[in-house]
Structure 1
Amino acid sequence: MGVRKLWYSKHSWLKVFTPVSWILRRVVEYRRARYKSDTNRAWKASVPVCVVGNITVGGTGKTPLVIWLCEWLTRRGIKVGIVSRGYGGKASQYPMMVSQQSLCRDVGEENVLLRRRTGVPIVVDPNRVRATQFLIDNHSIDLIIADDGLQHYKLARDIEISVLDGARGVGNGLQLPFGPLREPKSRLQDVQWLVVKGEPSCNDLPTSVMHLEPVEFVNVSNNSVLSIHEFRGQQAGQLRAIAAIGNPSSFQNTLDQIQIQARVKPFRDHHHFRTDELKHNGSVIIVTEKDAQKIRELPIDTSHFWYLKVNVKFNEDMDEFLTSLFYKHGINVKART
């Protein structure tokens, strides 16, 4: 059993590290308290900053939510920009603007995906303060979304959004590396918007519930589109699936939900595929949209690869809530509708 599976196991021997985890939790809380007590420690941007992140490691649905939020704001005339650490990539220099020609090995597959889906300006840099200043200096921006920046306290923020996987929750409740927590669960009490992917299994905090709704299949090679019904009918032969994401089991659940008979082969998050790992042998291979960004850059025949496009859908209309939330922080989306 892998370490991440142990984090979510009910009978994990990692519980013996609870005292050590408590010490690590106190260190994390102390670090955050220092930034809260001294507002001059964090750099304040000239435009509002909205952080979208999580208190657990990987696989919460954060990237689809960022896409949805960018689209929601853009439809209301808000000029949005994104800053990101650039996980999964290593650029030759920083800060680096993400373009339609950017490669995953430079800026990370999530940022290539975000650029393609949203079209908003994106800057990657491990130094998010520098990335934010660069974005402001080079683009007319009303609002910056700091992707996966919840724990990056050097960058002051106006709005905090946290995403939690409803099925997995906080796992064994221990801090890294003994559990999935970057910060204690109590941290969720301080964010302005808590979004749970899927129905929350056990949560006592006010939340908005989102689902990742399967939309269609897209061919990695030529971007041709098949509805889910058409894909099931045309791809009746051998199907395989692979996923290099934070929570591969969620991809398996989605395929099962739409009655696609394929077993997902998991890889570690941000895995850089080798060509020998992607031999299709005549079968059709289903991948996530995130992994498709990396696969299309490889020197192989990608016509056998199809990704499943998903969109975020909420259980309730979020317009009134978000309009009020952003208005409180200087973004009048209602006036620009």
Structure 2
Amino acid sequence: MSNVIDRLWYGQSRPLSVLAPLAWLYRTISESKRRKAWQAGAENLPVPVVVVGNITVGGTGKSPLTARLVDCMRQEGWQPVILSRGYGGKSDRYPLLVQEGTPAGVCGDEPLMLSLATGCPVVVDPQRLRGARWALEQGLGDVLICDDGLQHYSLPRDIELAVFDAQRGIGNGAILPVGPLRESVDRLNSVDFVILNGAQFPSSGERLDEFAGTEHANIHAMTLRPASLVNLNSGESRAPEALNGKPVRGVAGIGNPGRFFETLRQLGAHVQEQAFPDHHRFRPEDLASGAGEWLVMTAKDAVKCRGFSPDNAWVLTVDACLSEPFEQRFLERLSESAVQLQSQMTERSNHG
């Protein structure tokens, strides 16, 4: 499936150009929803809201970036709460606070992964604004970070980050279904930061100059660094380099499985690829492997395989690496937002 998408959307040509009328309709509806949401002028929440998202379809590295931003904020004394739609999960009640024992089928794979990886509160609600208000009512934290919510315009936001796979970029530059774009590239003019996953860090360590023909004051590189190999059953942890020279069956049900398989190869593994659709619900038979093979999967997939994974199943964890100038600027922007919100609240109180 990934190869088909690469051919249809991520080359220079547009083989689906016959669907241009649908792309025009998609863009018209999307822009109308955004315009109506901004005109409605949803009242700001009393704490800063950070939205991490993308304008392309498929995996770009949003969740590792979210986890890293959580770490950065905590180091500065903030108490972050992660908001998520909970795609792939179905609960009989919302808002839902993710617990260690919450099944991925209830809360979604990414919320459970982020909860286990960060240890911070993760609130799932398809209506993100309702989830945000509930999180504040419960006193869960003093800053909200929304994983994958760039197009969820009913949620007010103070900082927006748009994440891209640096290799894929914007593909053929067309709107769905002709190309991979959910919104036009012009949308980048209104975000605070553009993050390129897999881009080369400039020698100065600071920002990049432009992306996809768009100049922006804050375009920054990000890389995903393999952090550890953890056995799903025993909990044993090894260095990622343990895969060097080993026969590996790589299993991935993510938006861009090719990137994961390439990471395994860079670690020296001899990889047999097994790709599944994004958010795939794994079954025991999906985890079959040959004698002597290491079965290696992503953290996002691993949370759905707890309880039936074989003894040779390992999860490769990754850390998002960002430049110090970006992290400093992000924290400055966060503090500025908090001051602005406090000023607005004081002004409303004085006029109340």
The TM-score with structure 2 as length reference comes to 0.86
SS in 1 for 2:186: helix
| Alignment match, 1:293 | 303
Matched, 1:308 2:316: yes
| Alignment match, 1:258 | 267
SS in 2 for 1:321: helix
User: Which of these residues, 206, 210, 223, is aligned with residue 222 of structure 2?
Assistant: 210
Amino acid at match of 1:287: M
Amino acid at match of 1:33: R
**Deviation >6 Å, runs of 4+:** none
Matched, 1:4 2:13: no
Q: Which sections of structure 2, spanning at least 5 residues, go unmatched?
A: 201-210, 341-352
| Alignment match, 2:170 | 170
Partners in 2 of 1:38 and 1:131 — Cα distance? Answer: 19
Amino acid at match of 1:310: V
Shift, 1:194, TM fit: 1.0
Shift, 1:279, TM fit: 1.9
| Alignment match, 1:273 | 282
Partners in 2 of 1:139 and 1:55 — Cα distance? Answer: 32
Residues 210-256 of structure 1: per-residue CA shift (max 9 Å, x gap)? 000112211111221111233437xx4x3211100000111122112
Shift, 1:69, TM fit: 0.4
The TM-score with structure 1 as length reference comes to 0.90
Partners in 1 of 2:256 and 2:242 — Cα distance? Answer: 27
- Asked if the contact 2:14–2:178 (Cα under 8 Å) also holds between the matched residues in 1, the reply is no
- What percent identity do the matched residue pairs reach? 37
Matched, 1:133 2:141: no
Partners in 2 of 1:192 and 1:306 — Cα distance? Answer: 37
Partners in 2 of 1:163 and 1:324 — Cα distance? Answer: 20
Shift, 1:300, TM fit: 4.3
| Alignment match, 2:240 | 228
SS in 2 for 1:149: coil
Q: Which sections of structure 1, spanning at least 5 residues, go unmatched?
A: 333-337
- Asked if the contact 1:21–1:176 (Cα under 8 Å) also holds between the matched residues in 2, the reply is yes
- Asked if the contact 2:166–2:197 (Cα under 8 Å) also holds between the matched residues in 1, the reply is yes
- Asked if the contact 1:122–1:135 (Cα under 8 Å) also holds between the matched residues in 2, the reply is no
Shift, 1:149, TM fit: 1.0
Question: How do residues 42-121 of structure 1 correspond to structure 2 at under 5 angstroms?
Answer: 42-121=42-121
Partners in 2 of 1:140 and 1:31 — Cα distance? Answer: 30
User: Which of these residues, 246, 249, 253, is aligned with residue 240 of structure 1?
Assistant: 249
Partners in 2 of 1:170 and 1:35 — Cα distance? Answer: 25
- Asked if the contact 2:22–2:177 (Cα under 8 Å) also holds between the matched residues in 1, the reply is no
Partners in 2 of 1:239 and 1:140 — Cα distance? Answer: 41
- The 1:331–1:284 alpha-carbon spacing in structure 2 relative to 1, beyond 3 Å, is farther
SS in 2 for 1:306: strand
Partners in 1 of 2:329 and 2:112 — Cα distance? Answer: 30
Residues 109-132 of structure 1: per-residue CA shift (max 9 Å, x gap)? 111110111111111111111111
Shift, 1:316, TM fit: 4.7
Matched, 1:160 2:147: no
Amino acid at match of 1:326: L
Shift, 1:322, TM fit: 1.6
Residues 16-67 of structure 1: per-residue CA shift (max 9 Å, x gap)? 333442342233222212222331xx25322221111111112100000000
Shift, 1:182, TM fit: 1.3
Moved more, 183-192 or 5-14: 5-14
Partners in 2 of 1:257 and 1:284 — Cα distance? Answer: 16
Residues 103-161 of structure 1: per-residue CA shift (max 9 Å, x gap)? 11111111111011111111111111111111111124210011111111111111111
| Alignment match, 1:335 | none
Count of matched residue positions in the alignment of Structure 1 and Structure 2: 325
Partners in 2 of 1:328 and 1:209 — Cα distance? Answer: 23
| Alignment match, 2:33 | 31
- Asked if the contact 2:225–2:321 (Cα under 8 Å) also holds between the matched residues in 1, the reply is yes
- The 1:187–1:225 alpha-carbon spacing in structure 2 relative to 1, beyond 3 Å, is same
Partners in 2 of 1:66 and 1:20 — Cα distance? Answer: 32
